[in-house]
Amino acid sequence: MDRLILQNAASYCAYQERTQDEVRQRLRKWNVWGDEADEIIAELISQNYLSEERFAKTFAGGKFRVKNWGRIKIKQELQRRGISKYSLDQGMAEIKDENYLATLKQLLEKKKTLLERTESNPLILKQKLARYALAKGYEGELVWKEIEDLSA
């Protein structure tokens, strides 16, 4: 195993959390394939540079807090990145129910204030609010419940 490549891969992982797929793609760019790539990934895991669970927790928490993504969108993105079910569940546990509801409520209130300037029809307003929250990855049942509470 090439020490320089291992060092570069460790730096790549230290800069920000990565998935095994991201590291594997980077290794391919450096013309490292097969068993050698597997060895480097195993070494990065053993030295704690690479952790799927840590990645999932950081990703889920960050996307929720910074971008206000809902659970559906976060889960889909983690699955797309090839994260294991266990790590995915650990990541999703970072999002507490009370914060989740409060964030959804806040998003809907903010969007409603913006939309009320241009939209006077209450049904169209509700549709637009729902479409916005669903696109952010929030669950339909939850979205409609919050919209009804907001309209009451």
Per run of 10 residues, the mean pLDDT along the chain (length 152 residues) is 92 96 96 95 97 97 97 98 96 96 97 94 96 98 96 78
Asked if residue 85 and residue 61 are part of one domain, the reply reads yes
Q: Are residues 113 and 140 in the same domain?
A: yes
Q: Are residues 104 and 118 in the same domain?
A: yes
Q: How many domains does the chain have?
A: 3
Q: How many CA atoms lie within 13 A of 119 on its CB side?
A: 15
Looking at the structure, tell me whether residues 68 and 84 fall in a common domain. Answer: yes
Q: Which domain holds residue 67?
A: 52-92
Q: What pLDDT does residue 85 have?
A: 96
Q: Which residues contact 21 (CB under 8 A, 6 or more apart)?
A: 81, 82
Q: Report the predicted TM-score, pTM, of the whole model to 2 decimal places.
A: 0.91
Overall residue count recorded for the chain in this entry: 152
